[in-house]
Amino acid sequence: MFHYLFPIGTMGLAPFIAWYNYRALKTGEERYSQAARFWTRIFAVNFAVGVVTGIPMEFQFGTNWAAFSAKTGSVIGQPLMMEGVYAFFLESVFLGVLLYGRDRVSPALYTTSAVAVWLGSWLSGFFIVATDAWMQHPVGYVIGAGGRIQLQSLAAVLLSPFAWWQFAHVMTGAVVAGGFVVAGIGAYYLLAKRDVGFGREFVRTGVIVALVASALAVFPTGDRNGFDVTTYQPVKLAAMEGLFQSQHGAPLAIIGMPDVAGHKLLDPIFVPDLLSFLAYGNFRANVAGLTSYATELWPPVTLTYYAYHVMVGLGTIFIAVAAGAAFLLWRRRLFTMPLALWALLLVMPFPYIANEAGWVTTEVGRQPWIVYGLMKTPAAISPNVVSGETVFTLIGFVGMYFLLGVLFLLLTLREIAIGPAGHAAAAASPAPDLVAER
């Protein structure tokens, strides 16, 4: 979860970097170049910390999940290898061009490099999501000798509709975060009455992107993900909705507290029949509840339920905030309304929370399966690793990641404090000793 904070940043900010470089190429205006370089520097900090925090996750396949790797490596090894070879290197090489090649390559190649960074970051996300989607809905495999799961069709794994809709939903979630970060930092500049031109540009672009992405996160990407969960993981759907008893015309729970022992929601607020319609397109359709399945097949109901409702609740708030800001932007009042600017500034962390809640829903809701219907999580662990070892190393990683998180915040805040035009102004100013001589 800590690692995923940084891919959210890179995948969410990459389209803005490409856009501002494209605008700089088409118009020749320096302000677009400065905006592009500003977001590239923040992107680079996200990228660096994401690499450092992501490497231990690769080693976990061998250290903590050896049985899983031995049984499924024929399948999951393919997209993970492709992520490293095709996506990560594409992103990192052209990020180097963006950071160090501005005066060494043509403007057209420089802009192409920005598009390549965008493509690389999203391609990286696709291969990772395709791996996870296979664990959610395994396709393109056969069971070989010794019960090993062997790859039969790489195309089936990479072209699975489950994977593509999950990828679309993940990307829209990342762009929601990117849009609100861009708008929020622009709002900060307007409230601080500095870099006002950049503030207006960031707020305008960020709000429009955040509104479009927030709407797409609900429909069609969220709707299609819900359809796939309903079709292939109905027990997860029941846990997400806190539905314990099967019902024709099942209601949608807006809020409520799951009582797992009592098989009910406490103090719920329902919308009658809506869950049946959302799940099956029929207000009177039967939706299977948790009690329709063996208890050992239930995921952790409480965590799955709350994570899902946090994601949906925040997503609704994002649409409201972005729509209100877009309306004020249309009326030419947004830049002069401190309350609205404060709302954009303060909402910045919440898309990260929503993205994390979405992944908790996806991964916790899949339990007790690590590969849905094929392999349960307890069967996937390394047989020679004991719990004390994982606790000890977890404490170490928490400490290391805390320091990395502080370093990330300091570097990012430093770039925001310098501002989009700050580096150019510093480079153009005379050296202190020359000023003294004059």
For helices 30-63 and 66-82, the axis angle rounded to 10 degrees is 150
Is the pLDDT assigned to residue 259 strictly greater than 60?
Answer: yes
CB 76 within 8 A of CB 53: no
Which 3 state secondary structure label does DSSP give 137?
Answer: coil
Q: What is the mean pLDDT of the chain?
A: 92
Is the pLDDT assigned to residue 205 strictly greater than 70?
Answer: yes
Exposure class string for 165-177: b at 16+ Cβ within 10 A, else e: bbbbbbbbbbbbb
Is the pLDDT assigned to residue 437 strictly greater than 80?
Answer: no
Condensed to tens digits (0 to 9), the pLDDT of residues 22-70 reads 999 999 999 999 999 999 999 999 999 999 998 888 888 888 999 999 9
Average pLDDT on 6-16 reads 95
From residue 82, give the alpha-carbon distance in Å to each of 120, 124, 125, 126, 230. 12, 8, 11, 10, 30
pTM exceeds cut of 0.75: yes
114 — pLDDT class (breaks 50, 70, 90): very high
What single-letter DSSP state applies at residue 65?
Answer: -
Longest dimension (CA), the chain: 86
CB 136 within 8 A of CB 84: no
For helices 107-136 and 5-27, the axis angle rounded to 10 degrees is 150
For residue 375, list its beta bridge partners.
Answer: 371
Residue 431's pLDDT is 46
CB 28 within 8 A of CB 131: no
Residues 279, 311: Cα–Cα separation, whole Å: 18
Residues 339, 333: Cα–Cα separation, whole Å: 11
**Those residues with Cβ within 8 angstroms of residue 240's Cβ, 6 or more apart along the chain or in another chain:** 229, 304, 305, 308, 361, 365
Burial of 108 from C-beta contacts in 10 A (0-12 / 13-18 / 19+): exposed
For residue 304 the two structure tokens come to: 């799955």
For residue 270, list its beta bridge partners.
Answer: 253
Domain map (residue ranges) of the chain: 5-246+288-437
Residue 387's pLDDT is 85
What residue type is 97 in one-letter code?
Answer: V
Residue 86's pLDDT is 87
Polymer length of the chain: 438
